[in-house]
Chains A and B, each alone.
Chain A
Amino acid sequence: MSRTLFVRLSAGILALTGVWIAHTQNPQAPPQLSLEKIKDDLYVIVGDGGNVAVYPTNEGTILIDDKFERDYGDIMAKVKSVTSQPVKYVLNTHQHGDHTGGNEKMRGSSAEIISHSNARANMVEQKMPGLARVTFNDQTEVFLGGKEVRARYFGRGHTNGDVAIYFPALRVLHTGDLFTIGMSKAPVTIAPFIDYNGKGSAMEWTKTLDGILNSGWDFDVVIPGHGPISKREDLVKYRQNFESMRNRVTSMLHDGKGKDDVTRTLMSDFGWADGGNGMRQLDAMIAELKR
């Protein structure tokens, strides 16, 4: 082999290796997040995973959820743009990776992660990283810098470990994925994702939302798990829509209609997307509603 050829070959291999590394190490930069101010000292970080609430206090910052792991840097940058206080607590609304993906890194920067005991158990079962060290079953509260955040389990729905989060001083609720809407804002009827693997339930979902609406928690602003900041009325509408959808499917099944008919109706009348998260759980939902 001539020396020139050897040099060229090495250079070629080197270049290819470089491209490969660049490709695998940096597939795509994570989507850009944006920060919205919704009350005096409450912000929401929108984009990529679930909506993150940011509540700064003079003793530290409380976050609700922390999106995917890849969003950690951007979340911290957004927090730093509104407060110099470190993140002290992260309350998880449920176990999914688009809400808990940042847990490991948040703990690395010495935040306390708190989740519902069922959410943690599901994460253990599914071998997910970022387990909370502190769990609760019914209700927990965090008091920091004279401010308060409450998290309560109202029952099954999206999973068996969803908690709703309440900011009493601000009359704001974070629902996690018990309430999600499309970014277009138009159809409040975006398909609910009933995660049967995570022990969710179409039958319990509306009862759980009723639990929140009748809890005595006084709120006007609602941060959904995904989608734009909403109002209490939007949550009520979502709940009614869920019930209509469920009643319709139940009666279709009662009339002997099959999965194909149900699929068509969900798409035409309830805005469900073909192949979406909701649709992927359809067999399990049909099984639950036939019971």
Chain B
Amino acid sequence: MSRTFAIRLFAGILLLTGSWIAYTQNTGKQPPQLTLNKVKDDLYEIEGDGGNVAVYITNEGVILIDDKFDQDHDQILEKVKSVTNQPIKYILSTHYHADHSGGNAKFLPTAEIISTANARTNIEKHIQSNAPPGVMPAKVVFTTESAVFLGGKEVRARYFGRGHTNGDAMMYFPALRTLHTGDMMAGTSPLIDYPGGGSVVEWTKTLDAVMNSGWDFDTVIPGHGPVTTKANLMTYRNNVEKLRTRAASVIREGKSMDELGKVMTAEFGWMPGSLQFQWSLPGMMTELK
């Protein structure tokens, strides 16, 4: 074998190996691009892929609300690094779903994660049917209210009752008059996770409780969708009530679940086969009977 040939062969192998590594490490789908928006001084939110992540910067570390899917971990870190050198010290979880708590496993070694007791139980029992394996629960849980104090700043987390699940916490930034609702407000129409202890009857009561809690806020970070206002949270609450009233009347007329589904699609935009069809319709048939 000539020397030139050997070099060429070697180079060829190297190239192929490189391509193979690039291919396997980067299988098809990249996680969707996330975007970072400034909400108030020292408060940002990261949108895209999973639920909205709030980023609260202090001079002793960063507090996050939620951590999206496992696949978003690196991008979340990158976004946080673009606005502060401080490490992520705390993550407060709004609820157990993998699009909000999916990053827990990767963050747990370096951050304290705090959730409601029910959110932990739901993760441990693998209640979410479509969750990827390996979602890790918080090590510290609370029943009614918890607060985190860091670098002279404060975030409060409180359980106001059932709604999206049986373990939704809403988060309050007192100094910034801002609320993170988790999925108690998300998109345009509620997803009631009955297997996870959700309730369309309790949902409006729970939103009323946060409205009447004495928490003084004007800005609302919803679980999904753009940052909005307290007035829009009220509109959302009234829509949940409208949906519940409509569904109850359909069910009490003796209509079937299929028929209820058609009404929900026509009037509230629920798509056949969606999680709303899978998780919400059967439970509503029972709860609103």
Chain A residue at minimal CB-CB distance from B60: A133
How long is the Cα–Cα vector from A120 to B149 in the complex, in angstroms? Answer: 10
Whether, in the assembled complex, A141 has its beta carbon less than 8 Å from a beta carbon of chain B, the answer is yes
A137 touches B139 (CB 8 A): no
Residues of B108-147 contacting chain A, CB below 8 A:
112, 114, 117, 120, 137-147
How long is the Cα–Cα vector from A143 to B117 in the complex, in angstroms? Answer: 11
How long is the Cα–Cα vector from A140 to B114 in the complex, in angstroms? Answer: 10
A134 touches B146 (CB 8 A): yes
Whether, in the assembled complex, A202 has its beta carbon less than 8 Å from a beta carbon of chain B, the answer is no
Which residues on A sit within 8 Å (CB–CB) of B112? 112, 134
Contact of B137 among A112, A132, A136, A143 (CB under 8 A): A143
Whether, in the assembled complex, B148 has its beta carbon less than 8 Å from a beta carbon of chain A, the answer is yes
B144 touches A131 (CB 8 A): no
How long is the Cα–Cα vector from A280 to B137 in the complex, in angstroms? Answer: 47
How long is the Cα–Cα vector from A167 to B272 in the complex, in angstroms? Answer: 47
Task: List residues of chain B with CB under 8 Å of any chain A CB.
Answer: 90, 112, 114, 117, 120, 137-150
Query: Given A112-B140, A117-B145 in contact, is the A133-B150 Cβ separation under 8 Å?
Result: yes
Chain A residue at minimal CB-CB distance from B158: A137
Tell me if B's interface is mostly helix, strand, loop or mixed.
Answer: strand
How long is the Cα–Cα vector from A255 to B121 in the complex, in angstroms? Answer: 55
Which residues on B sit within 8 Å (CB–CB) of A114? 140
B140 touches A135 (CB 8 A): no
Whether, in the assembled complex, A139 has its beta carbon less than 8 Å from a beta carbon of chain B, the answer is yes
B140 touches A134 (CB 8 A): yes
Closest Cβ of chain B to A124, distance in Å, is 9
Closest Cβ of chain A to B126, distance in Å, is 16
How long is the Cα–Cα vector from A9 to B99 in the complex, in angstroms? Answer: 77
How long is the Cα–Cα vector from A144 to B90 in the complex, in angstroms? Answer: 17
B141 touches A131 (CB 8 A): no
Which residues on B sit within 8 Å (CB–CB) of A138? 142-145
Chain A residue at minimal CB-CB distance from B61: A133
Which residues on B sit within 8 Å (CB–CB) of A142? 139-140
How long is the Cα–Cα vector from A84 to B140 in the complex, in angstroms? Answer: 22
Can you list 9 A-B contacts with CB-CB less than 8 angstroms, sorted by A residue number?
A: A112-B140, A117-B147, A133-B90, A134-B140, A135-B147, A136-B142, A139-B144, A140-B141, A143-B141
Chain A residue at minimal CB-CB distance from B146: A136
Tell me if A's interface is mostly helix, strand, loop or mixed.
Answer: strand
How long is the Cα–Cα vector from A112 to B149 in the complex, in angstroms? Answer: 12
How long is the Cα–Cα vector from A141 to B120 in the complex, in angstroms? Answer: 11
Closest Cβ of chain B to A140, distance in Å, is 5
A137 touches B145 (CB 8 A): yes
B149 touches A143 (CB 8 A): no
Closest Cβ of chain B to A132, distance in Å, is 8
Which residues on B sit within 8 Å (CB–CB) of A117? 145, 147
How long is the Cα–Cα vector from A175 to B138 in the complex, in angstroms? Answer: 26
How long is the Cα–Cα vector from A144 to B108 in the complex, in angstroms? Answer: 12
Closest Cβ of chain B to A63, distance in Å, is 15
How long is the Cα–Cα vector from A133 to B139 in the complex, in angstroms? Answer: 15
Closest Cβ of chain A to B127, distance in Å, is 17
- What 1/0 mask marks residues of chain A from 46 to 88 whose CB sits below 8 Å from any chain B CB? 0000000000000000000000000000000000000000000
A136 touches B139 (CB 8 A): no
A143 touches B139 (CB 8 A): yes
Which residues on A sit within 8 Å (CB–CB) of B138? 143
Which residues on B sit within 8 Å (CB–CB) of A139? 117, 142-144
Closest Cβ of chain A to B105, distance in Å, is 14
How long is the Cα–Cα vector from A123 to B88 in the complex, in angstroms? Answer: 26
B143 touches A140 (CB 8 A): yes
